[in-house]
Structure 1
Amino acid sequence: MSTRTHRLTITEITDSDHCAVLRVSGELDQSCEEYFLGTLAAIVDAGRRHLVLDVTALVFCDSRGLNCLLAIRWLLKRLDGKLLLAGAGRRLSELLVQTGSTEMLPVRRTVGLALFDLPEAERPVWPPSPEDDEKEGEGGTSS
């Protein structure tokens, strides 16, 4: 599943009953705020209480985008879940450090490492099987 606005694309890479791994690419700012929050809220409403966001291809995130990430983290925390970021670039990492958000929004180098922060029984299979890649129409992200 992949959804997009003109500047942001969210692609589900894999999932399990309690967790979804999503690739977020493009720009996360005020123009995409409603789309981002609506898309992730729908995934949480479907029963996922842990989200791992592969942000390797996120090229821009401003304070409004950061607020979106914090809002999703707040929602998941209320469900005893977690929001984890994987592959944050220099600019996003600097934004998290400058705003004191690194403890609230943990960043891991890869999706595989981020998944280790979750209970084993709640993790999806990683890396996804080749059948998942064919269904998605894109190659998966390796850890």
Structure 2
Amino acid sequence: MRELPRQLSADELAELFEGRTRFVELLAQREDPLGHAREVADALTDEEKHAVLDAHPAIGAKKKLSKHSKAEQGADYDPIVIAELLRLNAEYEDRHGFRFVVFVNRRPKDEILRVLQERIDNPTDEELETALHELVAIAVDRWQRAES
């Protein structure tokens, strides 16, 4: 596993976080950006937090997936599970106002569906914190798994 970097460019961070957002721009200015990502995320406005979460692709989506998301989500395409994921993703976004983000870590989609079902009725402030924590875990994992 690769150690966390002392410095990363905005482009490198945008790849890890699925887009160039204010969050990524702020991280690029920091030494040890992934080590400070939670702290930086906590200081964002709610609008900025929503933007960084919404840059991440929806679980179960087949289009507009980055190479990272394709590898993490795998090829588990049970049409019933995918349909339910898409339905619940939309319900989650309507309820909370931002995209559902979970550290997939190559788990099957039916397991992710259970996580979504468990989290959908949580309070929005709790979900915002959880989603940001998951997003940072995804980026750290992506960095550590990438080839040197």
TM-score by length of 1: 0.25
The structure richer in strand per residue is: 1
Larger Rg: 2
TM-score by length of 2: 0.25
The structure richer in helix per residue is: 2
